[in-house]
């Protein structure tokens, strides 16, 4: 039962030192202990205290005691993770958590300590993320779920346990007689992810016993396909962008197939406008581009948190704030 966890740690070769994002739960507790065993003296821990529930003090105390026993330096980041109007509690907590990890990494770098960061999401978490994406009709980017490795503000982030079932991690902890804390919010079915975990995952596991690993592989395949689409979009961007390198030329976009138009427009919006279009917005934009055959034809459509306009021979994007 613990073989997959041990194998995942053997394959995990991050730049050292590595900082483990430690919540105090089973998964991050196991990851920290294993990393500390593999690289003694080269591991740090960072705990983000969201301050959203009474158990937060228990989580922090567990993390402090564990790190003291392992001789692992611990940094605690206190954040305000309350949701803003129109924001889900999950999104608010995630944004606050990553902002805290960014601050931690920046502080380490300022001291000359260029850390990489390891997160403990596992195969069950990846399956839940993929099911959430399927439920909202996501494209390949969404179906790629959580990446195993990525760069954020110059810091390398890793998820070494994405192929490891959660049960294997808990079994590893049991074998090593290690304790952890349970987050009481994980049983609150007011949250969609928790309903998926409590109701849908057991049913899927009954029919497909290894479905979590299978869905994790599917997410990896989707991520590979998305990577190819991004490479194609980057190549197409060089064909359609104007001399400034910032705006797509309408005629050049029209020369592409519909699929490549959609792909390069998404690429432009994400990489040059920091915005994302819904499927309906993108289809409307492509329809207006197709109809743009005269000098007097105007294009203006809401896209993401701004809008796209025709500006002579190119498309221009404007933020609502301006």
pLDDT digits (tens, 9 = 90+) for 149-204: 999 888 899 999 999 999 999 999 999 999 999 887 777 788 888 999 999 999 99
Q: Quick: pLDDT tens for 97-113.
A: 988 999 999 999 888 88
Q: Is residue 145 helix, strand or coil?
A: coil
| Whole-number Cα distances in Å, 275 to 138, 265, 267, 306 | 16, 11, 10, 8
Position 296 scores a pLDDT of 86
Do the Cβ atoms of 262 and 286 come closer than 8 Å?
Answer: yes
First to last CA, the chain: 57
Instruction: Name every residue whose Cβ is closer than 8 Å to that of residue 19 and which is 6 or more positions away in sequence.
Output: 43, 44, 45, 46, 104, 105, 108, 115, 116, 117, 118
Q: In this structure, are residues 34 and 42 in contact, taking their beta carbons and an 8 Å threshold?
A: no
User: What pLDDT sits at residue 268?
Assistant: 97
Query: What does the DSSP 8-state code read for residue 241?
Result: B
Strands (E), 63-105: 74-78
Distances (CA, A) of 123 to 2, 133, 159, 169, 205: 14, 15, 10, 10, 13
Query: Would you state the structure tokens that stand for residue 45, as one six-digit string?
Result: 């821990």
pLDDT at 322: 47
Strands across the sheet with 314-319, in order? 300-303, 306-311, 314-319
CA distance 117 to 14: 9
Whether the CA torsion 196, 145, 43, 52 is positive or negative: it is negative
Please list the ranges in the chain whose pLDDT falls under 70.
1-2, 320-322
**In the structure encoding, which two tokens stand for residue 269, read together?**
């919006």
Residue 51, pLDDT score: 75
What's the pTM?
Answer: 0.85
Residue 305: the pLDDT is 84
Confidence at residue 96, expressed as pLDDT on a 0 to 100 scale? 87
Measured CA distances, 235 to 166, 232, 247, 253 (Å): 40, 5, 15, 13
Look up residue 301 and give its DSSP letter: E
Are 211 and 202 within 8 A, CB to CB? no
72, 36 contact by CB (below 8 A) = yes
Q: For the chain, which domains are there?
A: 3-218 (3.40.50.620), 241-319 (1.20.59)
User: What distance in Å separates the CA atoms of residue 241 and residue 247, rounded to the nearest whole number?
Assistant: 5
Tokens 């991690």 belong to which residue?
A: 169
Tally of residues, the chain: 322
């Amino acid at each position: 039962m613990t073989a997959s966890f041990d194998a995942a740690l053997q394959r995990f070769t991050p730049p050292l030192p590595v900082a483990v994002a430690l919540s105090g739960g089973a998964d991050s507790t196991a990851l920290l202990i294993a990393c500390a065993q593999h690289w003694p003296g080269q591991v740090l821990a960072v705990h983000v205290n969201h301050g959203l529930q009474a158990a937060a003090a228990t989580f922090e105390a567990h993390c402090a005691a564990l790190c003291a026993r392992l001789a692992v330096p611990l940094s605690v980041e206190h954040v305000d993770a309350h949701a803003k109007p129109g924001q889900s509690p999950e999104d608010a907590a995630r944004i606050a958590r990553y902002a805290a990890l960014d601050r931690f990494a920046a502080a380490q770098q300022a001291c000359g300590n260029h850390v990489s960061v390891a997160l403990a999401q596992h195969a069950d978490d990846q399956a839940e993320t993929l099911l959430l994406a399927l439920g909202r009709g996501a494209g390949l980017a969404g179906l790629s779920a959580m990446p195993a490795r990525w760069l954020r503000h110059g810091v390398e982030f890793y998820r070494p346990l994405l192929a490891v079932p959660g049960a294997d991690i808990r079994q590893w902890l049991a074998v090593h007689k290690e304790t952890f804390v349970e987050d009481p919010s994980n049983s609150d079915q007011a949250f969609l992810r928790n309903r998926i975990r409590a109701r849908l995952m057991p049913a899927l596991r009954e029919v497909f016993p290894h479905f979590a690993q299978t869905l994790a592989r599917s997410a990896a395949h989707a991520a590979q396909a998305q990577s190819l689409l991004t490479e194609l979009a980057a190549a197409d961007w060089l064909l359609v962008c104007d001399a400034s390198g910032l705006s797509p030329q309408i005629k050049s976009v029209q020369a592409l197939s519909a699929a490549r138009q959609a792909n390069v427009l998404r690429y432009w919006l994400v990489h040059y406008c920091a915005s994302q279009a819904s499927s309906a917005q993108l289809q409307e934009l492509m329809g207006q581009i197709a109809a743009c055959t005269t000098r007097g034809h105007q294009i203006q459509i809401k896209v993401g948190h701004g809008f796209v306009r025709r500006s002579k021979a190119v498309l221009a994007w404007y933020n609502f704030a301006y």
